[in-house]
Chains A and B, each alone.
Chain A
Amino acid sequence: GQQLNQSPQSMFIQEGEDVSMNCTSSSIFNTWLWYKQEPGEGPVLLIALYKAGELTSNGRLTAQFGITRKDSFLNISASIPSDVGIYFCAGLSGGSNYKLTFGKGTLLTVNP
């Protein structure tokens, strides 16, 4: 089946630093979604991307739909302690019957 490679697996940063993470695949996706999950909670949708090359922001978060449609990037600027959590990418391909493929997540730790 389809797979998403999400990297890095974990990041330890200082408050105020910028963060970048990405998802890549050998398959083409038509939609990319980025979620954040805090411990013991369900994932919360952060950003949805629908067109190749699309760049979308949500506050300090910016995500891009790769031109090849095989990758996506999430950047967090000026990190704060409440950014701690696991960030997941998810992709939707044509003919998948609306089934999302998820990356394994990036665990972000922010030191105050």
Chain B
Amino acid sequence: DGGITQSPKYLFRKEGQNVTLSCEQNLNHDAMYWYRQDPGQGLRLIYYSQIVNDFQKGDIAEGYSVSREKKESFPLTVTSAQKNPTAFYLCASRDYGHEQYFGPGTRLTVT
């Protein structure tokens, strides 16, 4: 059963703590993406990776970090430097075409 999984679905953290969100895909896609979604807003690109061991900053990379050590995995770390970390985080992957496919999302709440 191919797809993209994100875990956990809900995540709660205290301010000042780093937190890592998981994204795994078994679609054999080369490219993977992380987006942030806030209420009433479109999706904003945080980081993306076109291939293993390579990634680029998106439009709102400050306060976030990623790694791409395996094709299947693209974890996102929300650091304490991110001023407004509470949001819905979406991971996506892309095959050879232009279509991106999304995971179910992780809702992060930082208090």
Quick one: which of B40, B50, B102, B107 contacts A44, CB cutoff 8 A? Answer: B102
The majority secondary structure among interface residues of chain B is: strand
Interface status of A88 (Cβ within 8 A of chain B): yes
B104 touches A41 (CB 8 A): yes
Q: Render A77-107 as a binary contact track against B, CB cut-off 8 A, 1 for contact.
A: 0000000000010101000011110111100
Tell me, rounded to whole Å, the shortest Cβ–Cβ distance linking A81 to chain B: 22
Interface status of B63 (Cβ within 8 A of chain A): no
A42-B42 in contact given A1-B59, A99-B48 (Cβ < 8 Å): no
The majority secondary structure among interface residues of chain A is: loop
Instruction: Give the residues in chain B near A43, CB-CB below 8 Å.
Output: 43, 90, 102
- Residues of A at under 8 Å CB distance from B? 1, 4, 6, 30-31, 33, 35, 40-45, 48, 50, 88, 90, 92, 97-100, 102-105
Instruction: Give the residues in chain B near A105, CB-CB below 8 Å.
Output: 40, 42
A45 touches B40 (CB 8 A): no
Tell me, rounded to whole Å, the shortest Cβ–Cβ distance linking A106 to chain B: 11
A104 touches B94 (CB 8 A): no
B105 touches A40 (CB 8 A): yes
B contact residues, range: 20 to 34
Cβ contacts A to B, 22 pairs, < 8 Å? A33-B100, A35-B102, A41-B105, A42-B4, A42-B6, A42-B90, A42-B105, A43-B43, A45-B99, A45-B101, A48-B97, A48-B98, A88-B43, A98-B94, A98-B98, A100-B43, A100-B100, A102-B43, A103-B42, A104-B40, A104-B42, A105-B42
